[in-house]
Structure 1
């Protein structure tokens, strides 16, 4: 049996050296809003929205939502995922219509790989996407539903990005990311504006999802 690769990054969401809160260059001007991507988000650096590993969104009086986002971009450590790395995470999916949780990568306006996206209006479906090489999979699974805990594993291979769900392989895109790819991590909870998925229902004023752990493994050369 092959031994697992060494861990090179273990997420500590409380760490200001690892993570920057409430700002991302994946949003125009670094945020705080991104309406062109059908998001009601108003990013906030308030620790209550992300630093516990529970990512919150709360309705504002202006119709937008204060939302939690953490990224390694611009942080003191500036960690980037590289070609060949393996990301593992355990997440609890949100229940509320309009919630849009994701773990993804970003650098210089591109380099996006979606470890997962989820929308509770499609309760049994996870979205896996390689935007670098233009492939995706809508994966239906009975283990996926609002409020479910799911285990995710993504291998950022040079020739194929491979996704695993609850210990089973579910999608190998056969495209990969190439040898020189690297990108920052983003973990966040967005809120849909209604163009592609329903906006939050009347009376819903708060939503959340949880990331209990996230780590990255790498085949590091011996010293």
Structure 2
């Protein structure tokens, strides 16, 4: 037998498919104590379906706006996960990534003016049962040329990676191969140009699996808080998950 890969999950966001029973995505997650907010982890987030919209031609726009007259209060913002939070009344089809899957996401990073150039914290990550978190991407507007990659499973191993592909308003492909011997992260301007930028030489357990999460957090970390009431946006045009399958030789 020889391996090949097949797409086991794909969304080009041609339609609104979240926030209702049977939808692919759910706007709430068990990674947040009440599903919608996560102040203990320095986030001003208040997740809501009204913060997300489909872009003409495909893609989802996540738009964070302040809920009060203070930039340091809660911000209504967007989150999408395949986790059927609270049993699934708001969506989440239950899809989980497995060991050796390759996740590929195309997104636009926030602009320089968003939130006064501060507080934008988009993330692509995995989650299940209070653990199983691998950060496929974390980006902060205070360090626009840097990506943060972390494997949190059974201890934290990660890296801060600087790349000319990263920056305010830039479109970028981000990938991660979730191997059992190592997790490897990739960056590229196209799917064909992806280059490995970090490997943790740790990997995930053979029985590991987790839901996908894509979100726009608003930071409450000291020095990273928003300085204006200007909305913050990010856009995701596609997400794919590739999985190895066996095929007969000959």
1:98–1:188: structure 2 CA closer, same or farther, 3 Å change rule?
A: same
1:199–1:209: structure 2 CA closer, same or farther, 3 Å change rule?
A: same
The runs of at least 4 aligned residues of structure 1 exceeding 4 Å deviation read: none
Q: Which residue of 2 aligns with 1:118?
A: 139
Count, aligned residues: 217
CA contact (8 A) 1:50 1:69 kept: no
Indicate the SS of the match to 1:121.
coil
**Residue 199, structure 1, aligned to residue 225, structure 2:** yes
Q: What aligned pairs does 1:1-223 form with structure 2 within 5 A after superposition? A: 5-13=5-13, 14-16=16-18, 17-21=23-27, 23-30=28-35, 32-46=36-50, 48-49=51-52, 51-52=54-55, 53-61=60-68, 63-74=73-84, 75=91, 77-95=93-111, 96=114, 97-133=118-154, 134-166=156-188, 167-195=194-222, 197-202=223-228, 204-221=229-246
TM-score by length of 1: 0.91
CA contact (8 A) 1:50 1:70 kept: no
- The offset of 1:72, in angstroms, is 0.4
CA contact (8 A) 2:3 2:244 kept: no
- Structure 1 residues without counterparts, runs of 5 or longer: none
- Structure 2 residues without counterparts, runs of 5 or longer: 85-90, 189-193
Distance in 1 between residues matched to 2:17 and 2:217, nearest whole Å: 22
Distance in 2 between residues matched to 1:205 and 1:191, nearest whole Å: 12
- The offset of 1:12, in angstroms, is 5.0
